[in-house]
Amino acid sequence: MIRNGSYAVACILAAGFAFASPCAVAASLEIAPVLVDVPAPGAAGIVNLRNAGTTPLNAQVRVFRWTQTHGVDLYDATGAVVASPPLLTMPPGSTYALRVVRVSTAPIDGEESYRVVIDELPDPTHATSGVRLALRYLVPAFFEPATFGPPKLTWTYSKSGGALKLTARNDGGRRVRISALVLRDARGHVARFGGGLAGYALAHSSVTFVARGKVTGFAGGAATVDAMGDLGKLHAVARP
């Protein structure tokens, strides 16, 4: 099981692992789309991969079940959804249609959330010519039932030692993607959670965001939430 709340900050996350050297080898893998959404009765989605580099590219692909518990993203190994193929080698300039397939025969009784983890493996032939980067891309994948309700968010916040946390609880049947998240209290104090993607509130789950830097104000009372969701603008009240 992977426990890492920071994975919520990006739809695609690239993490580099450096081996001491004065220069870096650039990533060459391009991915589209950045989200897989498969409505019932469909059972498969496609992620298009392209090797934009000048050397062959090796990649490993895994799928994890994505849930949220106590406001934190959790990733668990699963056999319900698989990527085909799990390992591939791509010549320079080539493209490949990676299939993400729900192999489970159990009926979908609610939106299922997964992360497709694509690791661009370092080329061992560059071991002495520069920093070897192991890049990781995390692509959200959702399998939806035939019918489901819209997102239904409620917000709460807490503050301790200058650190402010904002929790979004989603009691609806669909996830919501949250970006440009800002919280304001009645006296005009502002807490920001980054200008880009803050994360996802999965269906029937909750997620907690931590404000950037030390926050003043927010001594109690209602505060105003403003953000962008994948279905439009979000404007709501958060309670302490």
Same domain, 84 and 176: no
- The Cα 240–Cα 223 span in angstroms is 8
Interval 77-125: pLDDT, tens:
999 999 999 999 999 999 999 999 999 999 999 999 999 999 998 766 6
Same domain, 131 and 160: no
Q: Count the domains in the chain.
A: 2
Domain boundary residue among 96, 111, 144? Answer: 144
**Region at 79 (left for phi over 0; alpha for psi -120 to 50; beta for the rest):** alpha
So what's the pLDDT on residue 8?
Answer: 27
pLDDT(57) > 50 = yes
The closest of 106, 166, 115, 108 to 139, measured between CA atoms, is: 115
So what's the pLDDT on residue 25?
Answer: 40
Same domain, 125 and 54: yes
Same domain, 123 and 75: yes
pLDDT band at 27; cut points 50, 70, 90: low
Domain boundary residue among 82, 111, 144? Answer: 144
- The Cα 240–Cα 85 span in angstroms is 47
Element (H, E) at 124: none
SS3 category, 27: coil
In the block, tokens 């062959």 appear at 56
Same domain, 213 and 118: no
The closest of 30, 39, 1, 16 to 139, measured between CA atoms, is: 30
Share of residues in the chain with pLDDT > 90 (%): 79
Same domain, 20 and 139: yes
Domain boundary residue among 113, 144, 175? Answer: 144
Give strand pairing partners of 226: 182, 235
Same domain, 75 and 160: no
Mean pLDDT score of the chain: 87
Same domain, 230 and 196: yes
Peptide bond into 150 cis (omega under 30): no
Please list the helix, strand and coil fractions of the chain in percent, rounded to the nearest 5, in that order: 5, 55, 40
SS3 category, 179: strand
The whole-model pTM stands at 0.85
Share of residues in the chain with pLDDT > 70 (%): 84
Same domain, 109 and 216: no
42 exposure class (CB count in 10 Å sphere: 0-12, 13-18, 19+)? exposed
CATH number at residue 188: 2.60.40
The closest of 132, 47, 57 to 92, measured between CA atoms, is: 57
Interval 190-215: pLDDT, tens:
999 988 999 999 999 999 999 988 89
Type of residue found at 203 = A
Which range marks the domain in which residue 180 is found? Answer: 153-239
Same domain, 109 and 44: yes
Same domain, 139 and 168: no
So what's the pLDDT on residue 3?
Answer: 40
Same domain, 135 and 90: yes
CATH number at residue 114: 2.60.40.10
